[in-house]
Amino acid sequence: MNETSGNYQADIHDTGYERFYLEKRLEGSALLNISGRKTESLNGKWNFAADLYDTCRRASWYKEETADPSGRPRPPDWDWEGWDRISVPASWNMEKPELFYFEGSGVYTRTFRYVPHEPGERLHLRFEGASYRTSVFLNGEFIGTHDGGSTPFNADISGAVREENRVIVVVDARRDPRRIPMENTDWFNYGGIYRDIFLVRTPPVFIRDWFIRLVPDGKFSTIKADVFLSDKAAGGKALLEIPGLGIREELALPGGRGQAEFSAKPELWSPESPKLYDLRIAYIPGASGKTADTVEDTAGFREIRARGHEIFLNGKRIFLKGICVHEDHETLGKTTTPDIIRAAIGHLKEMNGNYLRLAHYPHDARFARIADEEGVLLWEEVPVYWAVAFENPDTYRDAENQLAELIQRDRNRASVIIWSVGNENADTDARYGFMSKLAAKARSLDDSRLVSAACLINHEKLMIEDRLAASLDVIGINEYYGWYDPDFDKLPRILANSNPGKPVLICEFGGGARSGQRGTAEDLFTEDKQKDLYEKQAAAFKKCPYIAGVTPWILYDFRCPRRLNRYQQGFNRKGLIGQDRKTKKLAFEVMRKFYGEMC
């Protein structure tokens, strides 16, 4: 259609309107590490409207055009200050009953005042998580769009900010087969700005990121450091200080990046002794020696390696005694707090566990920081879940970017030992190419951790078989023998038939039980059936030499709209603890005993 014709109205006739908003991406390549930086919170009450037809973006509401070219008033379809107010951060589903199943675009807006603190400073708008596609506008200007519901992103708004500012955020929570995750999942699709929002001030050229880790050579005596500046054309040097180790070393920064290795003998971080060291990095741009930027962080130093059928932490064999957990809360939805995180870790430790699988997407950044303090090991993953569009280049770009944002966010956390690139994907050629590329990307960003994926068993051959295993350090297996496949006797046969040549982690197993529902071991959805199944699984695991750890599915019951029988009622009931996150089922004690017996 001729866009200059007299009867053309863009917000009605342009079905490809979203292309404009995808031209300016907010991606991991510009992600700012905010650890140790002062932040100013934009949390609180925001004006909000459910925009079912995505009219804010279709009709460019952000321009706030309320008059025609001659100045005559036009009736706007928005009313920023007249809208209801909802909390940020929050899952909008939990804010109002009418939003519980809302899956569309929601428009958030508020004002804020900005006064520069330093000459030439840059201002960044930081989102810790908004689900799923987020478009950001400031003072009538389009800033950029981010894809991914669980990873952080930021935008440099220095060129658009004024003393008095209006920010508009459109969050699109639609499910789509081209997205990561795709439209068919086994959890609830919470929407909205459900994690913190910050303003972050930096100097004109600043330390964008850093990566500090122990070199995994079995000697525990070399620390490697990378420092990245915001400007690739910048030079100068960085001064790294770790007072607890007596380290005060300089890194040259040609092309805005530097890497160096230092000899040191740190006390090694472990679940038994989660030692953390304070560190400081200063950026010195010129010969004057004047510091232009400084960041502070903490780091633990440990080594994780896979050899043969075993996993070694700091040179000692370790059995990963864990459980899966979803970021799902009965009253808060996908929003969490430090107290909720610490309570989950408390239940893990009560179970004699040392390890958590954070399923099926990146959890709140505070989880890894608290795990560092508490001495808990973590598997972190991106939601390349089930039948994603493996042939679609845009889908791969989305997956790789989410993986990069996760790794850049958490690679300084000693607790994180495994990056997972996917879950329960059929072994097709397209999937193999997609996920093997993701595994290579993970290694390019982090040379100090293991790479895995939750794979499927070949149910016809009754053996562990997946081409992707060649690209992984650890093979993850999901199996539900005794539940979805009622013939439990297949599991011992599979374990006996397989010779994987690598450590195997049983990433998922289990069965559902409604809290308080009792009966015989043959009655589905009873605690007795779940308990019996866990006892059989634990007995089989003990006999298998290549199983290096297990994470049953799952710690807490969680919402899932596909689960609609009389026992589930919109929840997946496989938790060892009910949806209240308090009521333990009989199988909890089975795992507590099993882990108490495993070295």
- Residues found in the chain: 599
Q: What is the chain's percent helix, strand, coil content, to nearest 5?
A: 20, 30, 45
Instruction: Say what the pLDDT of residue 496 is.
Output: 97
Q: If you average pLDDT over residues 286-298, what whole number do you get?
A: 91
For 129, other C-beta atoms within 10 Å of its C-beta total 26
Distance CA(66)–CA(76), nearest Å, equals 6
Q: What percent of the chain has pLDDT over 90?
A: 96
Name the helix (H) or strand (E) containing 10. helix 10-13
Instruction: Say what the pLDDT of residue 2 is.
Output: 44
pLDDT digits (tens, 9 = 90+) for 103-144: 999 999 999 999 999 999 999 999 999 999 999 999 999 999
pLDDT digits (tens, 9 = 90+) for 151-202: 999 999 999 999 999 999 999 999 999 999 999 999 999 999 999 999 999 9
Query: What's 89's DSSP letter?
Result: S
**Max CA-CA distance within the chain?**
82
Nearest in space to 571 (alpha carbons), one of 175, 187, 184 = 187
Confidence of residue 5 (pLDDT cuts 50, 70, 90): low
Distance CA(63)–CA(137), nearest Å, equals 9
pLDDT at 1 over 50: no
Distance CA(520)–CA(526), nearest Å, equals 8
Phi-psi region of 16 (alpha: psi -120 to 50; beta: other; left: phi over 0): alpha
pLDDT at 423 over 50: yes
Query: What's 268's DSSP letter?
Result: P
pLDDT at 23 over 80: yes
Q: Which amino acid is at 394?
A: D
Name the helix (H) or strand (E) containing 136. strand 133-138
DSSP per position, 170-219: EEE----TTSSS-S--SS----EE-S-EEEEEE-SS-EEEEEEEE-SSSS
Mean pLDDT of the chain: 96
Instruction: Say what the pLDDT of residue 286 is.
Output: 84
pLDDT at 327 over 80: yes
pLDDT digits (tens, 9 = 90+) for 536-581: 999 999 999 999 999 999 999 999 999 999 999 999 999 999 999 9
